[in-house]
Amino acid sequence: MATGETGFDDVTFDLVSVQYHSLKAGHDYGQYVRDADNAGRQDIADFFRKVMEDDSARAKQCHEFLKELSGSSESGPAVS
Residue 61 lies in a domain: yes
Residue 30 lies in a domain: yes
Query: How far is CA 11 from each of CA 2, 5, 22, 36, 79, rounded to the nearest angstrom?
Result: 9, 13, 16, 36, 12
pLDDT in tens, 21-65: 999 998 899 999 999 999 999 999 999 999 999 999 999 999 999
Query: What is the band of 74 on the pLDDT scale with cuts at 50, 70, 90?
Result: low
Query: What is the band of 78 on the pLDDT scale with cuts at 50, 70, 90?
Result: very low
Query: What is the band of 5 on the pLDDT scale with cuts at 50, 70, 90?
Result: low
Residue 19 lies in a domain: yes
Range of the structural domain that residue 55 is part of: 10-69
Number of domains in the chain: 1
Residue 2 lies in a domain: no
